[in-house]
Amino acid sequence: ESKPKQPESEGVDLPGVKHIIAVGAGKGGVGKSTVSVNLAVGLARQGAKVGILDGDIYGPSLPTMMGLDRFEAKAEGKHLLPFEVHGVKAMSLGSLVEDEKPLIWRGPMAHGAFRQLISQTLWGDLDYLIIDLPPGTGDVPLTMAQLLPLTGAVVVCTPQKVAQDDARRAVAMFRQMRIEVLGVVENMSYFIGDDGKEYDIFGKGGAELMAQQSGIPFLGRIPINTALRYNADAGDPSANFTGDDALARDLSELSRGL
Ligand code: ADP
């Protein structure tokens, strides 16, 4: 099959990387970056060589979520050295620009920046490279996904009806690009209160149903969890795997399910 190729969408080759996995979502704020980070750290904790690239160039979360903001980005000639944190090699555009400077991109610039970031980073040999895509089904996530020889994509969704509808569109986008959808993750599934009771704040089971209906594996659910939120803000995802037993179990299951 021959696809028409524009210069900015010409593929990037990463021969040292065995599997490139994109994490997408139909909309922002559902936990796409949270899932990306914890998938990466979870896989690394299982002994895999893992990298993570922040493709969410409009709102890069990795500098905060992985604690990259404590370090200066380092270059080696024309190349960038990834940050080595939590057993993972990480790179984010957010680490290369000043804080609070708006990241204003027109489409081709966005693709160009992403392409540069991914191809100039010295990833070395990796078993997995996780790509945190921008949310939605617009031109930018689509072109990014197209640039890379992806093994597949993971779609993140909350149990809410509106999130599922958007997630279905994300699934359809990947399928149209002939990218295998490896599974759906339901985030913010429920909340366990101090009383030990389960509260289904955004509803329950919607993402699993959506996965079933679309013929996609369901990778698991992550409840609304204060420690998860706290560790994200503190840039310490490793703590998710060593603290609260239920959280560590839920997150480890995700990476095992891939
Ligand atoms: P997205 O990448 O889809 O925009 P994020 O992963 O950045 O979403 O999540 C949005 C915010 O919600 C972040 O501050 C994150 O720490 C928080 N968050 C995400 N999932 C959970 C969860 N299951 N429990 C608690 N906080 C969460």
* Residue ranges covered by each domain of the chain: 10-257
Ligand 1 and 150: CB distance under 6 A: no
Q: Are strands 218-224 and 181-192 parallel, antiparallel or unpaired?
A: parallel
Q: Which CATH superfamily is domain 10-257 in?
A: P-loop containing nucleotide triphosphate hydrolases (3.40.50.300)
Distance in angstroms (rounded) separating the CA atoms of residues 192 and 75: 45
- Mean pLDDT, rounded, for 76-92: 96
Cα separation, 73 vs 175, whole angstroms: 36
Distance CA 193, CA 225 (A): 10
C-alpha 14/C-alpha 149 separation (Å) is: 8
Q: Which two tokens stand for residue 88?
A: 């993972």
- Report which secondary-structure segment, H or E, holds 175: helix 161-176
Neighbours of 73 (CB within 10 A): 18
39 lines ligand 1 (CB under 6 A): no
Residue 232 in contact with ligand 1 by CB distance below 6 A: yes
Q: What is the pLDDT of residues 187-201, one digit of tens each?
A: 999 999 889 999 998
Distance 32 CA to ligand 1 centre (A): 7
CA of 234 to the centre of ligand 1 (A): 13
pLDDT, residue 156, reads 96
Burial readout 121-136 (b: 16 or more C-beta within 10 A, e: otherwise): bebeebebbbbbbbbb
Compute, in angstroms, the gap from residue 100 CA to the centroid of ligand 1. 20
Q: What is the ipTM of this complex?
A: 0.99
225 lines ligand 1 (CB under 6 A): yes
Q: Tell whether residue 2 is among the known ligand binding residues.
A: no
Residue 67, both tokens:
């604690």
Query: For residues 194 and 77, what is the distance between their CA atoms, to the nearest angstrom?
Result: 53
Whose Cα sits closest to atom 15 in ligand 1? 229
CB 149 within 8 A of CB 11: yes
pLDDT, tens only, 90-137: 999 888 877 666 666 677 777 888 899 999 999 999 999 999 999 998
For residues 235 and 169, what is the distance between their CA atoms, to the nearest angstrom?
A: 31
**Pocket of ligand 1, candidates 191, 229, 230, 247: which has the most ligand atoms within 8 Å of its Cβ, to mutate?**
229
